[in-house]
A and B are shown apart, each in its own frame.
Chain A
Amino acid sequence: MDLAEYRSAARAWLAENLPASDPKTFMAALHDAGYSGITWPAEWGGQGLTQAEERAFAAVARDFSLPTYVFSIGLGMCGPTLLDRGTPAQKERYVRRLLRGEEIWCQLFSEPGAGSDVAGLQAKAERVEGGWLVNGQKVWTSVAQHADLGLLLTRTNVDVPKHKGLTMFVVDMHAPGVTVRPLRDMTGRSNFNEIFFDDVHIPDENRIGDVDDGWSVAVTTLLHERLSISSGVGMSGQRDDPSSFEALSASVDTGDPVVRDQLVELYVRSRALALFNQRLAQETKAGIFPGARGSAAKLLLAELTSFGADLGVSLAGPEAVADGHPLGAALALAPALSLGGGTNEIMRNIIGDRVLNLPPEPRVDKNVPFKDLKVNS
């Protein structure tokens, strides 16, 4: 089937199956129809297709509202990490259920003291009989209040430099000692949480990768995170985005040439990014993995989102900031994309260091044992 046919079949399926009764039922149906885990190996419950189909589906899905938000962390980050770094037994246990929406995942990396510099985290895992005991706190954890499982990055060794003493686990979010407290974010809703771990026991079979090699696993997750954010994989549709070019040009008075020019700017930026994403998809299909260039797509999306929301509110005027106007809501949500998944500054560091190969900044934290390092308390 060529991509055009693939797209029209996907469109027809979505039109028929939306709106859905509830997210979990929808995910199971999506999986049955072959649209969940499009690029994932068939062996573990995926469809065994390419990024081209994945992005084609995401492009079609943008015209709809998919109730997939709660699955986005699992689909975009945790699942791909399991595929890259999990054992066959772990893949068998988790992947298919993730794709069918039977288990919801969250990503437990950031802590109050460590976000951009996530390798500076302090939640610790200690070896005990039959596994590990975890104590510490995580924060800004999206969808954790709904999650069944979490990908948890912990410190297992303080006598080595910070990147060398981390270990990754799968944690059961319903295990004794796990406390999830929703945090109200700036949109007024509770999409992210703080999580407390008090003597939480994790069996050793839940460890992903080697002991003290968790950083290399985390890097895999973060790479997938940027690519999935920029390509919209697992995200709900943008049909309702009130600050898109289409929505704004239909809703504001374009009689004023200044307004027209501002909308042209939005169009130009939107098209530029859409075409870049399309080119990345075609490259991936041709076997060229975008790697750190995904950070460029993520940064551009964050900036475009913020630009569109800002422009939308400014064009609409005072109405936009009253009475729960969708443009006001879009403006309140926009910073999420510039912060989650790595801030704009961190994206620029990555592009500079890994794409342009510019010299790194001098580091004071690379070769110092973690216990001697300055960290947030």
Chain B
Amino acid sequence: MNLLLTGEQRELRAAVRSFLTTVNPRDGYAPSGYERLNGELGLGGLIVPEEYGGSGAGHRDLAVVLEETGAALLPGPFLATVFAAIVLGELGAKEQLAAIAAGTPATVGPLWGGGVTESGGALTGEALFVNGAEAELVLVRTPQGVFACRGTASPVETLDITRSQARIRFDGEPALALGELPARASDLIAVALAAEQLGVLRAALAAIVEYAKVRVAFGRQIGSYQGVKHKLADLHCALEQAESIVRYAAWTADEDPEELPKAAALAQAYVGRACFQAAKESLLLHGGIGFTWEHDAHLYYKRAKSDEVLLGPPRIHRAKLADLLEL
């Protein structure tokens, strides 16, 4: 098992990081930015096999990229498209994979719960979809399997303003059957999300560490007070463990299918909560400015919580671990 980044992965990280420096998380989905992201960096089809026009990269590479898009709070359907690519990859849906490699924004949903059913080749019902309004390819999970189908999307207000969601209604639209969703897809999605959460954690911590070096109270920098310093030290410990878990989980995604389910549940159980904890402490230690709309602290805070519940109430990951550990 290798928990370190390779030289190539460090280069990938540097390239993505430098590309994302211009991103403003409040700008919303910018298709032109995504064109460059998919074109220059080839990120859209990162995990799509080469035969369908993708880069054929593994989940370890994907984790490196998601950590950066998470840290930058990249708005738009990047994560949703990754989730869709994971599902399509597991289903072996060639045509749709090729579309993703070509830059088609996509989503899959609902990620938790139901709401949509299939009958006679048509879908009815409604559910929440991450970036449902931006996605051109919509994959729908139903008790009858996964379908590709365009319904009527109505954007909803989201706590996390950097990631939009839409409620999509299906009123008997014809749907393309893609097959039963393999359990592995859910695990890979959990790992991918944990990688984004690691990035959010890292960025939220880095922001407050920097601020603690410059903000002065009672004649000295706030980072020199143990009440502040010790919290940041604890968050650093959490970051070290979160990174170790994400590297491990991504490694199992590529190399150890037997271990993947446990690693994926572990990743969500640990990283999801650590990420919110870091975002919360980061906000609080900023003081009043942290509570303002203009400051980014609340963006991390809201993204962290939205991510933590994205795949369902966090207890499901712990319950799954309990099952896998045969408790």
Q: Give the interface of A toward B (CB within 8 A).
A: 249, 254, 260-261, 263-265, 267-268, 271-273, 275-276, 278-279, 282-283, 286, 293, 296-297, 299-300, 345, 347-349, 351-353, 355-362
Contact = CB atoms under 8 A, between A and B. Distances in A.
Given A264-B322, A279-B247, A358 B241 contact: no
Interface string B219-233: 011011110111011
B224 A361 contact: yes
Interface of chain B, helix or strand or loop or mixed?
A: helix
Interface residues of B, number: 38
Nearest to A361: B224
Contacts of B327: 249, 254, 260, 263-264
B168 to A, nearest CB: 34
A275 B250 CA distance: 13
Contacts of B242: 272
Interface of B: 1-4, 209, 212-213, 220-221, 223-226, 228-230, 232-234, 236-237, 240-245, 247-248, 266, 269-270, 315, 318, 321-322, 325, 327
Contacts of A361: 224-226
Given A254-B327, A268-B269, A356 B4 contact: no
Contact of B4 (A271, A279, A348, A349): A279
Given A278-B3, A283-B4, A355-B236, A362 B266 contact: no
B230 A352 contact: yes
A268 B270 CA distance: 7
Contacts, number: 121
Given A263-B322, A283-B4, A271 B224 contact: no
Nearest to A261: B318
B222 to A, nearest CB: 9
A237 to B, nearest CB: 22
Contacts of B225: 361
A183 to B, nearest CB: 30
Contact of B321 (A268, A297, A356): A268
B3 A279 contact: yes
Contacts of B2: 282
Closest 3 CB pairs of A and B: A352-B229, A358-B223, A351-B233
Given A254-B327, A293-B240, A358-B209, 13 more contacts: A265-B318, A267-B321, A275-B247, A283-B4, A286-B4, A299-B237, A352-B233, A353-B229, A358-B229, A359-B221, A359-B224, A360-B224, A361-B226
A103 to B, nearest CB: 36
Contact of B325 (A267, A293, A360): A267
Contacts of A348: 226, 229-230, 233-234
Contact of B226 (A268, A297, A299, A349): A349
A25 B309 CA distance: 57
Contact of A300 (B3, B241, B245): B241
B236 A275 contact: no
B195 to A, nearest CB: 15
Contacts of B228: 358
Given A249-B325, A264-B327, A361-B226, A279 B244 contact: yes
Of A264, A273, A279, A362, the most chain B CB neighbours within 10 A belong to A264
Contacts of A358: 209, 212-213, 221, 223-224, 228-229, 232
A350 B78 CA distance: 38
Nearest to A273: B241
Nearest to A277: B244
Contact of A272 (B212, B221, B245): B245
A265 B234 CA distance: 17
B282 to A, nearest CB: 13
Nearest to B2: A282
A362 B233 contact: no
